[in-house]
Chain A
């Protein structure tokens, strides 16, 4: 089975049907919107930061399965972590998705997120996987919106 199909079967079975942290936080102190103009994907993130700690995080949106699963796993992963640790994950996730980080041979902190390495086989879908992470980065930096078209990939 190709990594691409495996990616689908593993992440969609679970996170697409039962996304974690789906919704909007009423008491959020950070929010950001993410857009992928190419496919119309749209997600909104809301976070509650306590100093440097991500206390709560939720996402909502109209997206493809890859984006939704990525957002679901991202929120589950960064909840309770420091902003600095989350930034490390953002960087590593981007690098993995774009092929700069080979999770099989190089050290990383991605854990189960490693399943998204398969998205490299689907170059047209890399942006779908990265959009939630991009949006999280924007939320940390108090930018209200992120897009997959800013050339940062």
Chain B
């Protein structure tokens, strides 16, 4: 195999050194060694301007939203709604009222399960999922199927981790009510051809929910161009805080759906005889929302947009190409997930070494990766492994960090040699 040269041209795409200086955590040491953070698919780090936004909100702007006439409540409400506008622009939603703040991807999917699934899916109906879903896009649908007597149909994949589109087309019939699909697989990195797949579903009159947890942080997402009906993602994977996520839904669907939780803010009027629900998106935001987290997520989107999602995607693509080439040259490595279209996720196994041991030994070198089933046990079963080691990259990762990973893997192998 020929060595892969370090791509030089990408130096121009992003000034990674400058970007890294924004992230205080990237300067810390782990076990007295510089941190090499390659667990971005699990959660990403937060840059100082985004941290500052959280602090500024708590120091100057905090009050409850939509509830009082005093100055602080007005500021908090304005900033919270401004964050909603930012999200709408970030994914190019038609209108801000199509943006619902949630706790994360998981809650977004559960919201669709309750609001859409409970209302429109009946006994004998079918939901199409893919073989590469995260548990959070499997379990809610299983619960619904159990409750309703509906069933799941699964789009199979090939050995590279690519979905079989011919098989997908064959799954549709008059009972199909929903397609729920990952935009990007967290366990394999596969970027699914979602535009084409949404188009196919719509030809059958079936709406599509995309799990965008691994896509929104890494590429420009345009929900109108995709024409998806729902899109769910998490703030903490895109430089935002935990506890906040987004569910986009086409207004026409959101209007028809039943509320998710009941409580304050989601109502127009309440008597003991009857409650009238609020308009969207408030119908789906019961109780005091995560105001600080939503505003901070808005700042994270500003930060990412400032760098540019296309530049981010390009840098990460170069990292992926380099890391894939380097990893392929290490003896005993098996790459799990070799799709043509991939995000910067490398799932792999090392011959004779359990991924958890690899993870622990890499951690001793200051290198943070994830080892395990990545909440995607059906994917592990498909590839016949109990777990994999996974290095997942963000725009602030460097080629030198890829080299550190490879050197770390050699050290792990030495312990087991």
Contact = CB atoms under 8 A, between A and B. Distances in A.
A81 B411 CA distance: 39
Interface stretch (B37-45, B263-271, B353-361): B353-361
B49 interface: no
A107 interface: no
A40 B386 contact: yes
B31 A2 contact: yes
Contacts of A16: 416
Interface stretch (A51-59, A90-98, A109-117, A121-129): A121-129
A39 B371 contact: yes
B11 interface: no
A64 B357 contact: yes
B372 A124 contact: no
B71 interface: no
Interface string A23-61: 000000000000000111100000000000000000000
B415 interface: yes
A128 B354 CA distance: 12
Contact of A12 (B31, B371, B373, B416): B416
Nearest to A65: B357
- The A interface, classified by DSSP as helix, strand, loop or mixed, is helix
A39 B360 contact: no
Given A2-B31, A39-B387, A128 B356 contact: yes
Contacts, number: 44
B372 A39 contact: yes
B372 A122 contact: no
A63 interface: yes
Q: Which bucket holds chain B's interface residue count?
A: 10 to 19
B364 A65 contact: no
Contact of B354 (A5, A9, A65, A122): A65
B361 A63 contact: no
Contacts of A8: 357, 360-361, 415
A12 B360 contact: no
Given A5-B364, A39-B372, A40-B387, A64 B356 contact: yes
A125 B372 contact: no
A41 B355 CA distance: 11
Nearest to A64: B354
A54 to B, nearest CB: 27
A65 B350 CA distance: 13
Contact of B356 (A4, A5, A39): A39
Contacts of A12: 357, 415-416
A100 to B, nearest CB: 22
**Residue of A41, A64, A122 ringed by the most chain B CB atoms within 10 A:** A64
Interface in B376-417: 380, 386-387, 415-416
B364 A4 contact: yes
Interface in B331-362: 353-354, 356-357, 360-361
Contacts of B356: 39, 41, 64, 66, 125, 128
Please name the 3 residue pairs, one residue from A and one from B, whose CB atoms are nearest each other, closest first.
A64-B354, A40-B386, A64-B356
22 contacts: A4-B360, A5-B364, A8-B360, A8-B415, A9-B415, A12-B357, A39-B356, A39-B372, A39-B386, A39-B387, A40-B373, A40-B386, A40-B387, A41-B356, A63-B354, A64-B354, A64-B356, A65-B357, A66-B356, A66-B360, A122-B360, A125-B360
